[in-house]
Amino acid sequence: MNVPTTHVSTSADTHADTQIIPLDLGEHSYNITVSYDLKESLADVLAPWNKGQQWVVLTQQAIFDLYAPVIEKLQVSGYRIHPIIVPGDESAKNIAHAEKVWTQMVELGCDRSSIVLAMGGGVVGDLGGFVASTYMRGIPVIQLPTTLLAMVDSAIGGKTAVNLPAGKNLVGAIYQPKAVLVDPSFLKTLPRRNVISSLAEAVKYGFIRDTVIYDLFINEFDKLASLEDKALLAEIIARSCNIKAQIVSNDQFEGGERKLLNFGHTIGHAFETIHEYGGLYHGEAVLYGMKCASYISHKKGLLDDESYATAMSVLNQFPLPPLGDVSADRVLDIVSHDKKNINGTLSFILVDGIGNGVISTDVTSSDIVESLSVVK
Ligand code: GLY
């Protein structure tokens, strides 16, 4: 279990405004609310969904220990709250844990009106969404992400999943939450490496869609990486949520545009697998993967020399652990088994100019092998 150790200091009194970002999906529309210290007024924030029914707060022990007063406050305000604790690491994301949660919910008397509040990072969010999507054929879920990765990516867009021994996220559903509540003040109890590496997903939005985010990473990286400028952090988070919301609104089921979110993830996933999801954080693997994808974009004439040089210097600002010896054959093997390949065709995300992600089906094995030269 990841027990937070290093505390990130944040300046105490600069509170960014609340930002409400709509995710437009017809009857499944919802808002992403970004607001510092939102957790302090959670009873009010959740009030529109509280009809006196049972609430399951799905979380992990370290978060429960740190934020028990937040949960207690809900109880005191009259919410019928039942915390359910699951492991904080990837081991929670399997069908056995889902079954344990379903069973506890039955024992607690949860019915079709009950709500799941998934309070945690990607593991809790994916498991919570999956459990909610299937319990009594589907009950509402609200995402309360506590990691930066979850705030800017995994809590948004309705991807829910558990893993199989054969691979990650092989069983799940697209099941939209009723709301995503983003309180960046959760980040202050996370290890710095966890937060900084997760900025990878934000810079990804810069590469594929938003040159304002990209420019912030060029001009303000040190301030961002210090995690001390609350307004800047909130701006990056809200802009990232906005891009994700736009993309998911256009393509909920990943028929096309949503694939752009995989920029850096195809080769990054191979690096993550080689390190067995241990030595390298997801964001770090994606940073390495974005270097390779930028290399291929340049090789194919989609990024000019200057843009490529800038892209690499943006990515090189991030501290990264050494990648070690990655065998090209192993990378190709993992890429060829990626579940995102359809009928054997690899959809590889490149950038045709910064801010313009494109789906390419003509990235070859030799392009991938060649690109590894920039990360060795
Ligand atoms: N994390 C990528 C997606 O939600 O599509």
269 lines ligand 1 (CB under 6 A): no
Q: Is 282 a catalytic residue?
A: yes
The residue from 97, 209, 262, 284 that is catalytic is 262
Identity of the amino acid at 174: I
Span 263-374: which CATH code? 1.20.1090.10
Which pLDDT tens digit goes with each residue over 94-131?
A: 999 999 999 999 999 999 999 999 999 999 999 999 99
CA 259 to chain centre: 15
Q: Is 265 a catalytic residue?
A: yes
- For residue 146, pLDDT over 70 is answered with yes
Residue nearest to atom 3 of ligand 1 (CA): 261
- Cα(156) to centroid of ligand 1, in Å? 8
- For residue 282, pLDDT over 80 is answered with yes
Task: Provide the residue ranges of all domains of the chain, joining segments of one domain with +.
Answer: 19-189, 263-374
- Mutational pocket test of ligand 1: of 25, 123, 153, the residue with most ligand atoms within 8 Å of the beta carbon: 153
Q: Per-residue b/e over 20-40, b at no fewer than 16 CB within 10 Å?
A: ebebeeeeeebebbbbbebbe
Query: What pLDDT shows up at residue 278?
Result: 61
Q: Is 235 a catalytic residue?
A: no
Distance CA 187, CA 191 (A): 8
Closest by CA to 130, choosing from 92, 167, 165, is: 92
Which pLDDT tens digit goes with each residue over 39-66?
A: 999 999 999 999 999 999 999 999 999 9
Query: What pLDDT shows up at residue 376?
Result: 86
Which pLDDT tens digit goes with each residue over 174-194?
A: 999 999 999 999 999 999 999
336: which 2 tokens? 């060829």
Composition of the chain by helix, strand, coil, percent to 5: 50, 15, 30
| pTM for this predicted structure | 0.93
Distance CA 87, CA 98 (A): 12
Q: Which atom of ligand 1 is nearest to the CA of 261?
A: 2
If you average pLDDT over residues 282-293, what whole number do you get? 97
Closest by CA to 42, choosing from 84, 75, 76, 70, is: 70
Q: At residue 157, what are phi and psi to the nearest 5 degrees? A: 110, -5
- For residue 270, pLDDT over 50 is answered with yes
Pick the CATH number of 19-189 from 3.30.420.480, 3.30.450.20, 3.40.1440.10, 3.40.50.1970: 3.40.50.1970
Cβ neighbours of residue 162 closer than 8 Å, sequence gap 6 or more: 93, 94, 95, 97, 98, 126, 127, 130, 169, 171, 172
CB 77 within 8 A of CB 43: yes
Fill in the DSSP letter of residue 339: T
Which pLDDT tens digit goes with each residue over 64-85?
A: 999 999 999 999 999 999 999 9
If you average pLDDT over residues 297-326, what whole number do you get? 96
282 lines ligand 1 (CB under 6 A): no
135: which 2 tokens? 């319990």
